Structure 1
């Protein structure tokens, strides 16, 4: 029977059930092996909906008869403006002023995620067709670059993007995962933590992090989003001000060391579930939880219930300054763990550059984490960015990256 594959925009009313079925087939591994299943809580496009511009496409196999249709693949994408480099600008209007300041160089960047092709319809060019159609939309939106993230061991995905679609390996950040224990973590008395307003957080981020790679120009939209649970700044307990002085005063006379992070509530977007674990592994995990709950004062690390639907909080905007910044970051992560515990989350997750100076202060379990995630990038056209950095795909990595929580 002659069939044709049609790529079209996702229809949430009529496509939801079929899309969920394709997701299930793709994300649940073979029997006997551990795999991760993601449930988008009834909204397949939720993981890009909070971006400035977003789209979800499906690949539909159509037979000779109109009713012979089957969704066999899907892809999500979004477009935003981010920092791709920095330049130096004369500080002030007076030409005799020889001081310069560093300012960000922005570009329009597209992001591909959630590419799925049903196992029974792979090696038919459907993945490439979905990517090509999404890239057409990216260009229509004025995107200059497109990137995607994948596991470095996902050879099928790498073959598609690097061999057939023209992407190149670009950055290798680390995904750091900490389980949420049954006991609360103790925050050192030598650390004071401020919860600052979205407006103050925006001022702080723009002043200190706007030249960091991938910093979103619409950071204000992220910080005011209902999924953002707050931005927190840690300082030594001896800091002169008993209350938050405001970002302007704080940055004009900062303490010797400080750290900052924001918390994103991914639990409200989708849940995850570990499937295929053995009874022995499940039993050991359950035992650690029982002991932790019965004897919380022992502070025994326990494995949370990951074998049923669970949510997680994502930490972003991690940074700081000073010799003691790493210790302050560790305290902030402990605070974030306690917030996740109160909200019933299973994990706390952060993604940072492999060279990130704050990385040593982010607690994580190596077995749950990924030392080397892989981001691949492609230049879609001429570089029309606000300033010239050449071809971003060929630029060397910096110490830090700013990971947008909307794309996790």
Structure 2
């Protein structure tokens, strides 16, 4: 320090959209390049960085300020979700019911490169956790790249989080041509009410399933829920849809379901750090695809400028041909994204997800292991019947809430 001057204190406070927008945007720009040197970065289209969590029941955004400069920020939201299941005996059968907990999700932690190693990230996390506890959250969790050692070290070494789940992010490009959907599969669009019934009755015990699934399905960003069934079945014929109750009482041998979320109207992504040669090769594939669409070439989309994407969530199904049904749903989602000007479709599934093989994706764009870390904030479950979620083994499936993307 020169002249014995004391460093200005770090002030952690809630984000104010009226005065903090420009400062937060500057921090985002400084933090664009991640640990791999080729991180995709997002830019909010709505002009308010809190838009990524405002669709959750309870949300917060904090900024770190030194003097007049914003040097860091973090977002968080709280919701009630499934953390396990319990068996209940009723006459002549046993049924599985969801066990719910109130959990908080942390995302978007940023600290300006010039102000790192000053404990600012730790202060932001701890202040967010205080708010979580005050609002009744029993757990907090976060997601980061498996090679982001700085983030992992902060949360596991200093904040008491433990490594919990390693789902896969699967990304598929949107080409200039439509993807054919199997003629043996019929894709039906469900109403939000039917979609809610289907999810609650078939997937409510899936880990991370949101209890307010109705709010998700009725959100303005939800583009619909789609059901794939064999075209030769009674549900795949040209007959009026009789409702999900009839479907669940007598389902076809194989079926699959999936919903689509419009991330394009929330923020954009942009891939940077790619050589001119690779950009030229990608441009060539797009030109050929446009000129010869009947060949259905696997063209590489324009990802080197800001682009939007759709997120596929709530993916599940049953039966020996469920993988084929999932593939048809992904083709339908691709064509929907193409019509809306998106350049990729994305989903996230558990590593053990049985339907994963039916999801088309490019390995070069995907992430095999997205690391989720978790921390217990307080005592959970008044009946004490479940125990500590942080110590539970992974299930074969997870439900990824699109509001957290």
Same fold (TM over 0.5): yes
1:146 aligns with 2:140: yes
Q: Distance in 1 between matches of 2:389 and 2:114?
A: 37
Consecutive unaligned residues in structure 2, runs of 5 or more: none
Residue 207 (structure 2) pairs with residue 213 (structure 1): yes
* Aligned-residue RMSD, C-alpha: 1.3
Residue aligning to 1:25: 30
Residue 33 of structure 1: how far off its partner (Å): 4.8
SS at match of 1:275: coil
Q: Which residue of 2 aligns with 1:9?
A: 14
Q: Can you give the 5+ residue segments of structure 1 that lack an aligned partner in the other structure? A: 63-68, 92-96
Match of 1:89 in 2: 88
State the Cα distance separating 1:239 from its structure 2 match.
Answer: 1.1
Identify the match of residue 238 of structure 1 among 221, 226, 232: 232
Secondary structure class of the residue paired with 1:293: helix
Q: Which residue of 1 is the match for residue 270 of structure 2?
A: 273
Alignment of 1:106-117 (within 5 A): 106-117=100-111
Q: What do the CA deviations read for 1:87-146 (whole angstroms, capped 9, x no partner)?
A: 11233xxxxx24221100000000000000000000000000000000000001100000
The answer on 1:57 being equivalent to 2:62 is yes
Report SS of the residue matched to 1:328.
helix
Structure 1 residue 244 displacement after superposition:
2.4
Could you say which residue in structure 2 is the equivalent of 1:66?
A: none
Distance 2:386 2:166 in 1: 21
* Aligned residue number for residue 75 of structure 2: 76
Structure 2 counterpart of 1:292: 289
For the structure 1 residues 29 and 402, does the alpha-carbon distance in structure 2 shift closer, same or farther, using more than 3 Å as the test? Answer: closer
Contact 1:196 1:230 in 2 (8 A): yes
1:105/1:387 contact within 8 Å kept: no
Q: Which residue of 2 aligns with 1:355?
A: 352
* Residue 29 of structure 1: how far off its partner (Å): 5.6
> 1:37, 1:213 → 2: CA distance?
28
Q: Give the whole-Å Cα distance in 2 for the aligned partners of 1:84 and 1:33.
A: 35
| Equivalent position of 2:196 in the other structure | 202
Which residue of structure 2 lines up, in the alignment, with residue 119 of structure 1?
113
State the partner residue of 2:374: 377
Counterpart of 1:40 (choices 44, 47, 52) is 44
Go from structure 1 to structure 2 and tell me whether the alpha carbon gap of 1:58 and 1:294 turns closer, same or farther (over 3 Å shift). same
* Change in CA separation of 1:385 and 1:149 when aligned onto 2, cut-off 3 Å: farther
Q: How far is the alpha carbon of 1:385 from its aligned partner?
A: 6.0
Instruction: Compute the TM-score of the two structures, normalised by the length of structure 2.
Output: 0.96
Once residues 321 and 290 of structure 2 are traced to their aligned partners in structure 1, the CA distance between those partners, rounded to angstroms, is 33
Equivalent residue pairs, number: 396
* Distance in 2 (alpha carbons) for counterparts of 1:121 and 1:385: 43
CA distance, structure 1, for counterparts of residue 147 and residue 107 of structure 2: 17
* TM-score, normalisation: structure 1: 0.95
Paired with 2:382 and 2:302, the residues of 1 have a C-alpha distance of: 46
Q: Which whole-Å deviations, capped at 9, do the CAs of 1:352-378 have from their partners, x for residues lacking one?
A: 000001100000000100001100000
